[in-house]
Amino acid sequence: MSFDGDTLSVIENPAAVSHPFHSEKAAGVTEPKGVQGWLKGIHPTTHAQRLVRLLAAVCAVGLLGGLAVGVWFLVKLLLKPSYSQSPVGLGDTKETSFCNVTEDISISDPRKGSVFYRISPENSLLEIQLGKLPTWLPVCYERWNSSLGTLVCRQLGHLRLTKHKGVNLTDIGPNFTDGFIQITSEHKSNLENMWEFRGNCITGKVIALQCFECGTRAKLPRIIGGVEATLGRWPWQVSLYYSNRHTCGGSIITSQWVVTAAHCVHNYRLPQVSSWVVYAGIVTRSSAKMAQHTGYAVEKIIYNKNYNHRSHDSDIALLKLRTPLNFSDTIGPVCLPQYDYDLPGGTQCWISGWGYTQPDGVHSPDTLKEAPVPIISTKNCNSSCMYNGEITPRMLCAGYTEGKVDACQGDSGGPLVCQDENVWRLVGVVSWGTGCAEPNHPGVYTNVAEFLGWIYDMIETY
């Protein structure tokens, strides 16, 4: 459904699989049946006999009860070996043993498909690698069109095509001895199975491409070892104000679209599009500074239809700004993840936000904070000592088993970015976590790679 004006649009995400997730909790050990029945089955006899039987029964009940409690504790201990369920007020009993997880990024090739694309930084030529062969080959101009360019740009995590043209091979030198890639006559929208090897290009021309620029930042000085971010370091970071209060973070992906978490905008906050203001190009949010920056009004809020507030599944939303942002050294878009790439556990990424700096904090810092956090594989994060199966394919974990560094309240909706081939990609959206920076409870992020189709669809439609 879709409304106009001061309202929102709720659009179903056709790509996502509906996956109502229920974590499997340990079945509580109930009291053995039959205890009551045995007591009831006693025949009426003498007082002494009755007393003895009653005593025996009480003993038996006590024994069985004790056994049951013992078993229950054992089951609990085995299922959650390092997680104290009641951390409040029990500081001294809090477990300090960490999950013994290891992440090995060296052995895995993150590429999943069979056709890979790159754009040469020197001459902007589109190059294709077929089936993990070691050679990258340029693409013949024959049968090329701009919609193919858009698909290639999106495959690479850029929102759109900005320029494309055929370049004469004679203009770019003689080093094309390995061959070319030619588009087959069959036009497929998924970009697989539509390329073939050729010895030469009939027209003598190859494709040069330029995609929407993103994920770069101006070369700026940074605080060594510091945690306060400097202006321009995370130019895609925005602060989302709801009713004049910082409520969530967000990430710029185009001049008019911001990605955030669905839980930031759902329910009571949803219909009041006019209560939201987006602040870009800032690191300090003090009111004086805020006054100088005119916030951006929101025109539309689209949250993912599969968002589930219990499981936090599909926790992603898009905000459309009423007027486009002016990109500068301090305001700019982040790239999206590439299609068909898996992010291996152990990859170093970064989070930024104005969220609480103490787990029990009550207000957000004035200056944007940043911290490096490694990706934790879903396999490890779903283990019984971490989130015990609560992590769906639409989530990602990042952080440390020992805790200490994490996102927290107020960081939600903000970016988890990883640098890849010199561009920064929005890999995750701050979504949830048990407490903040607790051992064995890393931050959980929306897995943006799972929503690429949805993001492109929404941006194209609205």
Active site residue 312: no
Q: Which is nearer to ligand ARG, 256 or 304 (CB)?
A: 304
- Which residues, 6 or more positions from 63, have their beta carbon under 8 angstroms from its beta carbon? none
**Which tokens go with 352?**
């930024």
Residues in region 393-432 near ligand ARG by CB under 6 A: 406-412, 430, 432
How many residues make contact with ligand ARG (CB under 6 A)? 13
Active site residue 412: yes
- Would you give the binding string for ligand ARG spanning residues 68-97, x where CB under 6 A is met? ------------------------------
Check 352, 377, 383, 412 and give the catalytic one.
412
| Cβ 9 to ligand ARG shortest distance, Å | 22
Tally of CB atoms within 10 A around 209: 24
Active site residue 315: yes
- Which residues, 6 or more positions from 371, have their beta carbon under 8 angstroms from its beta carbon? 227, 350, 351, 352, 405, 406
Q: What is the CA radius of gyration of the chain?
A: 28
Q: Is 258 in the site for ligand ARG (CB under 6 A)?
A: no
The number of C-alpha atoms within 13 Å of 419 and in the hemisphere containing its C-beta is 9
| Cβ 336 to ligand ARG shortest distance, Å | 21
Q: Which is nearer to ligand ARG, 157 or 413 (CB)?
A: 413
* Alpha-carbon gap, residue 61 to 67, rounded angstroms: 10
Residue of 316, 312, 329 whose CA lies nearest to 416: 316
* Alpha-carbon gap, residue 81 to 74, rounded angstroms: 10
- Would you give the binding string for ligand ARG spanning residues 260-299, x where CB under 6 A is met? ----------------------------------------
Q: Which is nearer to ligand ARG, 161 or 238 (CB)?
A: 238
Amino acid at 330: T
* Alpha-carbon gap, residue 390 to 392, rounded angstroms: 6
- Look at residue 400 and give its three-state secondary structure: coil
Q: Which is nearer to ligand ARG, 205 or 441 (CB)?
A: 441
Q: Which is nearer to ligand ARG, 212 or 307 (CB)?
A: 307
- Of the candidate residues 154, 394, 443, 448, the single one contacting ligand ARG (CB under 6 A): 443
Amino acid at 33: K
Active-site positions read 263, 315, 412
Contact footprint for ligand ARG (CB under 6 A)? 355, 406-412, 430, 432-433, 436, 443
